[in-house]
Amino acid sequence: MGYKALYRTYRPQTFDEVAGQKQIIQTLKNAIKENKIAHAYLFTGPRGTGKTTMAKLLAKALNCSGETKPCDNCESCLAISEGSYPDVIEIDAASNNGVDEVRNLIDKVKYAPIEGKYKVYIIDEVHMMSQGAFNALLKTLEEPPAHVVFVLATTEPHKVLPTILSRCQRFDFGRISRKDIEERLIDVLLSENVEYEDGVVELVSELCDGGMRDALSILDQTIAYAGNYITVQNVREIYGIISNEEKIEFINLINTNNYQTLISNINYYDEKGVDIYRLTNNLIDLLKEIIIYKNSNSFRGLKIVNEENADNLTVIPNGKLFEMIDILVDALSSYKKVGAPRALFEIACLKMCGLKETQEKIVYRDAPVYENAPAFENVKYQTKPANLIENVETDEVATDKVTPVEKLKNTQEVVKTPEVIEMPAKTAENIEAVSHETPVIEETPVIAPTMQAPINTGDATPAEEELLNVLVQASRDALIKAQQQWVMLPKYLTSPATAKTTGLLLDGRPMAACDNVIIIGYANDVYLNRVYDGNNYNEMNSLLKALYNNDMKCYCLTVESFNELKAKYISLRQLGKLPQAKPIVIQRKNITIAENSETDVDEGVEYAKKLFGDNVIIKEEN
């Protein structure tokens, strides 16, 4: 007899020999012990996780005459192991997937077993059966004879008809843990009298991706290559793997923009037959571990980063690490579209070398900010997902006697202007979850004009203390109301009297709001120039008064400035140094808009008449 592969030689013959899948084994053992045998089972899971093996063990246990089932000593167990037992029928659905084959099977089902108690049909790769074959099998699968048990095995259960799935007890096989694989590999190496170097078993268990059959196949090929003594280098040479030290050196070359050595290394890997797919995945794993270590300061659970190499890796900023991962993931998804992935890998490496070399920190907008926190060259702010943002009630008004201006002077600036503005999409969850403490920045696709003119508004730009005063009084309900008004604005574009002012409002979006003030954010200074051109600003306030039927005013600034303001607001809130709420009065060059002033009321009335004609009726409130 010729050589028999390791995965066939060491196929488990009893339940106790199976690696992993303990919950499935226990369930089947109990069912057999209590004689609660189902008429149909479906085994599903990744390749090499024991589906067909478990099906054969179930068949052996059902027909075993020993006390421990399966005992692997009785005649039926031995015959099933050799594949010569007449009452266990294995069918490959990939080559027997037609209606005629199923009809032939159904004709034979009604006959009683020849030797054993049960006739077991094991249908492998059942998802390959045609719909007609599935339909032909339905009735028999639902009500088979008492002596028949069906065991269906597949790696793609979503391709099996729901009517078939509903007639089976389903068992999902998970990937086998590395610990179980390593223990099994050590037993096989001892049985084969093969010596091995430290790290061989760990490397093989890493390569097999949770499949026991793949692990034994890798080990089989390595033994054929290296003989009776296996080294880690043998495994790397066969499967094109580079060492952890080489991966770390590769990342360091990218971080230091060492183009020449980087390309030389790629050429060397290509000559040695290194698998580009696996190398890309390995680099992603390495970058992920660097991020985990930098944020946890612990090596627990890490397989590549350790105390010896951590110092050289932590100098890479978090933002750059995430961008490098994005580039490698994009390259990995594009490999299948090209014949030679090396070119894409080189391009990905060059992109990573060209990433910006600024120190960057990702901070949640509502994360704590401390006085002595280190300064970063580039702070990227991110908003937490809506389900993580606490629904915070409105803060109470501060009672300290220090003026807002003095507080701002005494407060250390702990954050800098964000260079990247991330604007979450407007959803019902976002609107419901965000309080006034975390003003919403909406995602607004705006195509900026090609010419950027410097803004020249003199004293028209709002002061920081005024804006902070608005944020102190801002509320979620007011912001939602403002957003609802913005949805209604487009209908005023059709009127010549209001089209220009409406367009100016629609160029921006509400960033925060209180009962009588809205902060409007614009994409850049060009849009802001238009707001403060001529009488546009006053016209906008008049339109808002007419829409709200209330003394409503607006502050206008760029989204970038608002983000900076919000960061300042959060830092002051964390330090307990927010200014006291006070009446809002907008004062600008040639513009004075005070609350409840008669000029404003008259101006609102006049604008309402401009909008709706002379039929406007003015009623005094009691």
- SS in 3 state form for 100-168? HHHHHHHHHHCCCCCCCCCEEEEEECHHHCCHHHHHHHHHHHHCCCCCEEEEEEECCHHHCCHHHHCCC
Same domain, 209 and 281: no
CA–CA distance, 177 with 49 (Å, rounded to integer): 10
The pLDDT assigned to 603 comes to 53
Same domain, 340 and 388: no
Same domain, 194 and 297: no
Same domain, 522 and 597: yes
417: buried, middle or exposed (CB in 10 Å: 19+, 13-18, 0-12)? Answer: exposed
Contact 556, 524 (CB under 8 A): no
Same domain, 200 and 261: no
CA–CA distance, 305 with 569 (Å, rounded to integer): 38
Asked, for residue 370, whether it belongs to a domain, the answer is no
3 state SS of 364: strand
Stretches where the chain sits below pLDDT 50 are 358-460, 588-601, 621-622
Same domain, 16 and 79: yes
Contact 426, 433 (CB under 8 A): no
Q: What share of the chain is helix, strand, coil (3-state, %, to 5)?
A: 50, 10, 40
Same domain, 468 and 582: yes
CA–CA distance, 51 with 171 (Å, rounded to integer): 9
Q: How many domains is the chain built from? A: 4
CA–CA distance, 434 with 428 (Å, rounded to integer): 10
CATH number at residue 210: 1.10.8.60
The pLDDT assigned to 300 comes to 80
3 state SS of 92: strand
- Hey, what amino acid is at 571? S
CA–CA distance, 207 with 235 (Å, rounded to integer): 10
pTM above 0.75, yes or no: no
Asked, for residue 444, whether it belongs to a domain, the answer is yes
| Region label for 230, one of left (φ > 0), alpha (ψ between -120 and 50) or beta (otherwise) | beta
The pLDDT assigned to 152 comes to 92
Contact 519, 485 (CB under 8 A): no
Per-residue model confidence as pLDDT tens digits over 301-339: 787 888 777 777 778 888 888 999 999 999 888 888 877
The pLDDT assigned to 186 comes to 92
Q: Cα(first)–Cα(last) distance of the chain, in Å?
A: 106
Nearest CA among 61, 41, 37 for reference residue 152: 41
Which of 312, 337, 353 is where one domain is finished?
Answer: 353
- Location of structure tokens 């160029």: 507
Same domain, 315 and 428: no
| Region label for 48, one of left (φ > 0), alpha (ψ between -120 and 50) or beta (otherwise) | left
Question: How many other CB atoms sit within 10 Å of the CB of residue 148?
Answer: 21
Which of 188, 214, 239 is where one domain is finished?
Answer: 239
CA–CA distance, 60 with 28 (Å, rounded to integer): 12
CA–CA distance, 585 with 595 (Å, rounded to integer): 6
Asked, for residue 369, whether it belongs to a domain, the answer is no
Q: Range of 187's domain?
A: 178-239
Tell me the pairing of strands 40-44 and 169-172: parallel
Residue 580 DSSP code: P
Angle made by CA atoms 201, 202, 207, in degrees to the nearest 5: 95
Could you tell me the two tokens for 579? 């200014």
Residue 46 DSSP code: S
Asked, for residue 17, whether it belongs to a domain, the answer is yes
Query: Within 227-359, where are the H helices?
Result: 232-239, 244-255, 259-271, 276-296, 310-313, 318-334, 341-353
CA–CA distance, 55 with 218 (Å, rounded to integer): 24
The distance from CA 276 to its chain's CA centroid, rounded to whole angstroms, is 24
Helix axes 341-353, 276-296, angle to 10 degrees: 30
- List beta partners, residue 378: 360
Asked, for residue 565, whether it belongs to a domain, the answer is yes
Nearest CA among 31, 37, 34 for reference residue 15: 31
Question: How many other CB atoms sit within 10 Å of the CB of residue 180?
Answer: 17
The pLDDT assigned to 65 comes to 85
Whether the ω angle into residue 70 lies within 30 degrees of 0, i.e. cis, is: yes
Same domain, 395 and 342: no
Per-residue model confidence as pLDDT tens digits over 55-80: 999 999 998 888 888 888 888 888 98
Q: Is the dihedral of CA 594, 595, 599, 604 positive or negative?
A: positive
Could you tell me the two tokens for 96? 């027997």
Which of 119, 144, 172 is where one domain is finished?
Answer: 172
Same domain, 472 and 421: yes
- Location of structure tokens 């030797």: 115
Same domain, 275 and 202: no
Same domain, 235 and 252: no
Residue partners of 519: CB distance under 8 A and separation at least 6: 439, 467, 470, 471, 474, 510, 511, 512, 513, 554, 555, 557, 562
